[in-house]
A and B are shown apart, each in its own frame.
Chain A
Amino acid sequence: MSLNYYEIFNLPAEFDIDLKNLRERYGEIQKSIHPDRFAAATKVEQQQSLIKSTEINEAYQTLKNNLLRARYLIELHHKNEPSPLSSEFLMRQMEWEEELEEIKEIDPLIAFKENIKMNVQQETTRLSKLLDQDKNWEEAQTSLGQLKFLSNLLKKTTELSYTLSDN
């Protein structure tokens, strides 16, 4: 298929998309081409249905995830390697990681998690503006790098909160 992921779902190539709408369109497409629709068809059709259905899944998984969608959107417009993160952000990275390392109780962990969540939201808003309004791919790449770090940190924090609450 020569269509890009946005074209497959007939959606505008933007970061800020309606996920509910995406999911609905995904469902409609899968209902028409999923291998379950070809259980009694010829081998060729079964094979083609498997290939297309796999592609649609990949397109959907990419567009439904903030980080993957941003990366995909940037790649559609901008082929350069991302520039390294600023030394200022690297400093903050280290501080956050040290802070998390110190936490052994659930209450301070929840406070920390809220803080990181807020940072994720702020960075997402910034990234969205850079992509959809400013079309500043270079800067968006940097913002995406920061958002990736923050999302990973949030994930780590969440996992730690599970471990603490399970014990």
Chain B
Amino acid sequence: MALLQISEPGKATLPHEHRRAVGIDLGTTNSLIASIISSQATVIENSDNEKIIPSVVNYSKNSSLVGTSAKENQIIDPKNTVSSVKRLVGKNMDDINPKSFSLTLKSHENTIGIETIQGIKTPVEVSSEILKYLKSLAEGRLGGELMGAVITVPAYFDDAQRQATKDAAKLAGLNVLRLINEPTSAAVAYGLEQKIEGNFVIYDLGGGTFDVSILRLSKGLFEVLSTHGNAQLGGDDYDQILAEWLVKDNPNNNEPKVKESLLKIARHVKESLTNKDFIYVDEKITNTIHIQKKINRAQFSQLTKSLTEKTLASVKQALRDAEIDAEDIDGIVMVGGSTRMPSVQESVQEFFNQPLLNNLNPDEVVAIGAAIQANILAGNTNDDLLLLDVIPLSLGIETIGEIVERIIPRNSTLPIAMAQEFTTYKDGQTAMIIHVVQGERDLVKDCRSLGKFTLKGIPPMVAGAAKIRVTFQVDTDGLMSVTAKELSTSVESSIEVKPSYGLSEDNIKLMLESSYASAEEDKESRALAEAKTEASQLAEMTNNALNSDKGLLTPNEIKLIEEDLDLLNKSLVTNDRDVIHQLTEKLNSTSEVLASKRMDQSIQKALSGKTINSLEL
């Protein structure tokens, strides 16, 4: 990891300390990476002057290709060419239709395995290949290692999909500053926060997913009110319908090669109809399949009407969740290449009865927004813009009768935590399993199972005597964590919580280590360097915080922190990784009180000048 330069949070660094931060739009079909270069949000090109990198990875025996060169292998080597991997990320075999992929897929640990010439690859690994490629583009352009990245995800991504995306980034050696929702990112790109207060709709139709979000904006505050969408609906589905129509009367169109060529033609037809009123198709695919058909805009629009209507049904639901009428919307932002389709534009415009905001390149707008956000998070600017996002799907737990009890309702502002109390039903019971699901339906089988959390180490008592408080916390990335505490005894946080889904920390570590492919001592020195970096950062920042806010602490608290600070500083010269690590943890724990009181102080400062009665501002 790069040596991070860190100043006091909330304060911008000096210009020469500009940190290399990027925004990544990791799309189903294409991916982009952008950064603020000379004060301008810029999408970074590869050496072939391409900004839009196909999200395709081709594996050969000893190497792998990413992007256009990988895509070129799609037809000749479909088994080893992975495209649309985003549709597999964070899923298992039960969630997908394997027939819609030209790959050999099978269940692998808690996820899906893709059989390639290089062995089994998980969707996380494939995604990380794409991220690695993008990372190296940016490092080349920006001239050094990246401090961090903001990665966009569809608003409708569930916990497992978000976690998998973050894991892929980790595996690619990226420090994830934040996962943000694609629609929110687009709103940032449009600089809507500089406009007057208002309600905005972000309509995002990409290659593989549809998302809609309702945002309320005012004074640098982006408040997501609701979000809805369909993770299985995008421009690709328009291609699919068109492809089927093109060879309606021909039976031999299910061979992978034929399918591939058909989709390519369909895509071309769709794109051409953006500027033309009609197009004549004359293509020979095989000796038996020769397409000669004319299609006009109205026909295409009619063919795909049901898809566009599905998106509008999501829009309606999002408006209802936000408790806002279509008339109260002040602007509609169109995002995603698929919103270029005239039929889509017309339908949305008609629905809201007002012109659309679509002057930014819909392919780039998400990456641009992410770059702006990354720049803010890295502390490169004084911009006080803040995104307040929501959880897209309700979280619940399984109760008796396979009924879902909702714990965190959808569209709750993040971060959020909810606690629930459980008890044992058998004498001497020391463990229990909590099944967490995500979704809006009442039955467990109709929701997405996130996995089971096993609580271990409950002190043995008679049935019903133990009182276990389980806290479900969802952070600003939309990722859930579960902690548990036994309340009737003084056993605190000794209850171990283990999720059953996704990759474990150890697993990731292992994958990371093997990817370094370096000698033992290299690994050791790398680990030592990382421990030292972390320790000296902590020491420096604690020292700064202590100097500016000593007044918040009791003499004893100050003494404890100073002692641990001193020990940690001394340990830095020992080169003993374990000792450094232990002392870092120790200072982390003693300085908690300082961090907490500084936070309270910030809250008070935020409202300073606002008296109890200053109701009208």
In the complex, which residues 111-127 of chain A have their Cβ closer than 8 Å to any Cβ of chain B?
none
Q: Is B23 an interface residue (CB 8 A)?
A: no
B608 to chain A, nearest CB (A): 9
With A10-B611, A52-B603 as known contacts, state yes or no: A21 contacts B617, CB within 8 Å. Answer: yes
A153 to chain B, nearest CB (A): 16
Residues of A within 8 A of B320 (CB): 162
In the complex, the answer to whether B595 meets A45 with C-beta atoms within 8 Å is yes
In the complex, the answer to whether B599 meets A31 with C-beta atoms within 8 Å is no
How many A residues are at the interface, by size bracket?
Answer: 35 or more
Q: Is A44 an interface residue (CB 8 A)?
A: yes
Closest to B584 in A: A43
Q: Is B6 an interface residue (CB 8 A)?
A: yes
B159-177 Cβ-contact flags toward A at 8 Å (1 or 0): 0000000000000000001
Alpha-carbon distance A40/B2, docked complex (angstroms): 13
Among A53-61, A79-87, A130-138, the stretch that binds chain B is: A53-61
Q: Is B386 an interface residue (CB 8 A)?
A: yes
In the complex, the answer to whether B607 meets A10 with C-beta atoms within 8 Å is yes
Residues of B within 8 A of A30 (CB): 221, 386, 388
Alpha-carbon distance A65/B591, docked complex (angstroms): 36
In the complex, the answer to whether A31 meets B221 with C-beta atoms within 8 Å is yes
B607 touches which one: A28, A60, A162 (CB < 8 A)?
A28
Q: Is B528 an interface residue (CB 8 A)?
A: no
Residues of A within 8 A of B4 (CB): 40
A34 to chain B, nearest CB (A): 6
Residues of B within 8 A of A50 (CB): 415, 473, 475-476
With A27-B218, A39-B177, A40-B377 as known contacts, state yes or no: A32 contacts B602, CB within 8 Å. Answer: yes
A59 to chain B, nearest CB (A): 11
Alpha-carbon distance A47/B415, docked complex (angstroms): 12
Q: Is B542 an interface residue (CB 8 A)?
A: yes
A63-96 Cβ-contact flags toward B at 8 Å (1 or 0): 0000000000000000000000000000000000
In the complex, which residues 7-40 of chain A have their Cβ closer than 8 Å to any Cβ of chain B?
8-12, 18, 21, 24-25, 27-40
With A27-B218, A42-B588, A52-B603 as known contacts, state yes or no: A35 contacts B415, CB within 8 Å. Answer: yes
Residues of A within 8 A of B598 (CB): 45, 48
B488 to chain A, nearest CB (A): 22
In the complex, the answer to whether A21 meets B615 with C-beta atoms within 8 Å is yes
A166 to chain B, nearest CB (A): 8
Q: Is A128 an interface residue (CB 8 A)?
A: no
Q: Is B610 an interface residue (CB 8 A)?
A: yes
Q: Is B413 an interface residue (CB 8 A)?
A: yes
Alpha-carbon distance A35/B6, docked complex (angstroms): 16
In the complex, which residues 577-617 of chain B have their Cβ closer than 8 Å to any Cβ of chain A?
588-589, 591-592, 595-596, 598-600, 602-603, 605-607, 610-617
Q: Is B379 an interface residue (CB 8 A)?
A: yes
In the complex, the answer to whether A57 meets B603 with C-beta atoms within 8 Å is no
Q: 10 extra interchain contacts, Cβ-Cβ under 8 A, other than A21-B616, A42-B591, A52-B603?
A: A18-B615, A29-B603, A35-B475, A36-B476, A39-B379, A40-B148, A40-B378, A42-B595, A50-B473, A52-B599
Cβ contacts A to B, 13 pairs, < 8 Å: A9-B607, A10-B607, A24-B617, A28-B606, A33-B603, A33-B606, A35-B476, A36-B377, A36-B387, A40-B148, A47-B592, A48-B598, A57-B415
